[in-house]
Amino acid sequence: MSAIYIKNLINASSISSINWIGINSKPTSPSLGYIGNGKVQYLPLITKDGTFENEAKTKRFSFDASAMSTIHVRYNGTEYVVPNKVVTIVKPEIVSTSQYSTKIGSGSSGYYSQTFSVTYKANGYASISFTVIISNALAYSTTTNGTTSVNNGTATASFTIIPTGGNLNAIVHIIAGVTSSSGDYTNVELTSSNNWTWSNSSGGGGGTGGE
């Protein structure tokens, strides 16, 4: 891709706002100044690995070397580009969490499974995943149920840990992470109780998921 280098820039740090492809935004500093429609217009400048968001935080601009050509500017020894890629920002959000235990087995004793439920939402497409980050030597298997992706709405997914042996006094830590189509991410850490076994002579386990 050919590059166009422009030497003369107007620093737009004192300009209150710009209007770039119809999106009202605060200017970057430096910005690219040019004459259009009889007055000075401004374009945002970013480094090649940088990003720029409009003031409403609904659009994110970046540079894509494989996309359409753009203007390259060298200023004070640093190369900047006018962004040539735009994505709609999709912000994922954790709405609530809960946790419960379920008896496994019959007779005089058995295990408890522990299930972590997460309700999440996004203003576009997003998906959720669960990762055990600390198991403290508990042997286990897992299942994921519910709705693991959403498109402009709210959904609930659950993650169940089923003990199979090992340290049955372990406290397990899980990360529930939600990633959107624009690459935005949020997560919550969930913590189990340390009661994985039951018998007819003892009470049950359980706990509460934390944010």
Class of domain 93-199: mainly beta
Provide the CB-side half-sphere exposure for 29 (13 A, CA).
8
What mean pLDDT do residues 103-121 have?
94
Provide the CB-side half-sphere exposure for 191 (13 A, CA).
5
Where in the chain do CATH 2.60.40 domains reside? 93-199
Closest CA to 99 of 29, 164, 174: 174
Predicted confidence (pLDDT) per residue in 42-85, tens digit = 788 889 998 888 878 888 888 888 877 788 888 888 998 888 88
Residue 48 neighbours by CB distance under 10 Å: 12
Mean pLDDT across the chain: 84
**34 pLDDT higher than 80:** no
What mean pLDDT do residues 145-162 have?
98
Residue type, 38: G
pLDDT score, position 124: 95
Confidence class of residue 205 from pLDDT cuts 50, 70 and 90? very low
pLDDT score, position 207: 45
Residue type, 156: T
pLDDT score, position 86: 85
Q: How far apart are CA 122 and CA 68, in angstroms?
A: 30
